[in-house]
Structure 1
């Protein structure tokens, strides 16, 4: 029979195994960077860029977190009215967990936090999160499609395909009611409540959908352009490659295969995106691109920590 002390330790490890795995992977990543390049070499790029430029980049990246919060604030106007600071805190905790935990497990925190803070049912919060993530993915793929359309040999066909893809969210929103009715018919009566909550988690009307879509586009436009600017300052050329690198990094952060803290996967996404959009792929060029991608990744992590630090004074209080 296990002693209470041993059982307590095992229970603690079970509860915190994901956090421990994250810390272990990040520590291994830091050791690998020191062994392969040296942190002095990596951080030298920050010094070359200059503190004022870094502060501006951080401020712009942090501003996108306020825009994300406003998207959710507009999505749940009745539940969140007058509580924007509390909602900002929720979105920042969710964002940080999403970055630090592997395989998108941090996403589960959003419906839980929204239920705890604002009394929003889990099914409704999950449905809203799914809609917003699909809009995020669509915005990023649509931005990537611009680059491929420009580089295509058959530009007419490429732009027609891009325009058709651009309108997919409109088609999906228009078809939401028939799809919900079909789900209600196929699912057993015990699950009808969940179908209703999922429907409540969708945009209420066309103007609400248009606002959510528009804020998604502006949010990702700002974030990708700031990252592309940072990569360009760190020597990623041509300009299209820095844009592709920013897209690649952000796509890696919203896809299911996401390492803790984006360790490895985010820089790899930047490198793959930059090469796909014209960056040189020789040994020395790839090494320089890898260093720039690590610094861009550090910029994202620091901006997430900055946003979280700003949100901490907004203490949580339970909704009545």
Structure 2
């Protein structure tokens, strides 16, 4: 299975899509709203807590543990790249440094740009490095994000089990996993739809061609997804627990809230404001005082931003071996 590289003839041309994406990235509203969230967070922390007081605990953070947590975060980035390599095989075979560079830069852009504009970087890089179609890359990214959401739901079952151990939660998780078995079957059936005919059938066929159509490949993709999120949640829960001593399940719930900030209708520059708001929305109902939750959320956010910038800069040093697009099916 290889995600489709070519778009339907009725779809916008690559040049039109690139121009549309460029206009969207440059729209001032997103940057103004993102800047307002960033400024608002800076002022709120200064007035309510004080930046010097908020940052002071970092002076006592054990350096070796910090290096280990950065290593776990690096493992998460590595797992993301390996998932992309598997998803787009054989296009990316033999050029893993380029794949890793693409994956890390995409993730860094997603962290830094407001309103999830960083997602537009993925199809741009896929086209620039591998000659892959913009629309095909975008649709494939949607399927990858659905795998992410599916595994995040699995973590939610785990949090509920830690909170109130019961056989109900493992059973619910098993049924949730079993739903994955339907995806390759449905994708293969829809991929067999005729190329000609009504438009909705062509759209379904195109979407299905970008989905994992073999159970073995889907299992591999899900394994990398689990490793990616598992290492990230462990590292982030450890950081959050340093600033906010809580039960492990509450720490996981806080990290879950932070990660789900991406689904909010607003997203600040570097996630500023939206990241903290989502973390507070998860922690305050669990009995954590708002001021303490905000201080811990900001410090977790600073760790995430620092790791993203570090890995983004390191990724810029990776070599690029461009590939000519493979014409599949």
What TM-score does the superposition give when structure 1 sets the normalisation length?
A: 0.82
State yes or no: 1:188 paired with 2:192.
Answer: no
C-alpha change, 1:14 and 1:165, in structure 2 (3 Å) is: closer
Deviates more, 1:87-96 or 1:142-151: 142-151
The structural deviation recorded for 1:315 is 5.0
- Cα distance in 2 for partners of 1:182, 1:66 equals 36
Q: Which residue of 2 aligns with 1:3?
A: none
C-alpha change, 1:266 and 1:130, in structure 2 (3 Å) is: same
State yes or no: 1:43 paired with 2:50.
Answer: no
- Cα distance in 1 for partners of 2:134, 2:269 equals 25
1:19-168 equivalences in 2 (<5 Å): 19=31, 22-23=34-35, 25-151=37-163, 155-168=166-179
Q: What is the root-mean-square deviation in Å for CA atoms of aligned residues?
A: 3.0
C-alpha change, 1:107 and 1:275, in structure 2 (3 Å) is: same
Are the equivalent residues in 2 in contact too, given 1:119–1:319 (CA < 8 A)?
A: yes
Query: Which residue, 161, 165, 172 being the options, matches 2:183?
Result: 172
- Cα distance in 1 for partners of 2:47, 2:323 equals 49
- Cα distance in 2 for partners of 1:250, 1:182 equals 37
Between the two proteins, the alignment pairs up a number of residues equal to 302
Which 5+ residue runs of structure 1 have no aligned equivalent?
Answer: 1-10
Deviates more, 1:118-127 or 1:15-24: 15-24
1:128-277 equivalences in 2 (<5 Å): 128-151=140-163, 155-181=166-192, 187-188=198-199, 192=202, 197-253=206-262, 257-275=266-284
Q: Which residue of 2 aligns with 1:4?
A: none
Q: Deviations over 1:251-309 (max 9, x none)?
A: 22356653332212222222333345x4x24xxx3211211111001111111111101
The structural deviation recorded for 1:199 is 3.6
Which 5+ residue runs of structure 2 have no aligned equivalent?
Answer: 1-21, 325-329
Query: Which residue, 307, 312, 316 being the options, matches 2:316?
Result: 312
Q: Which protein is richer in helix relative to its size?
A: 1
Are the equivalent residues in 2 in contact too, given 1:137–1:251 (CA < 8 A)?
A: no
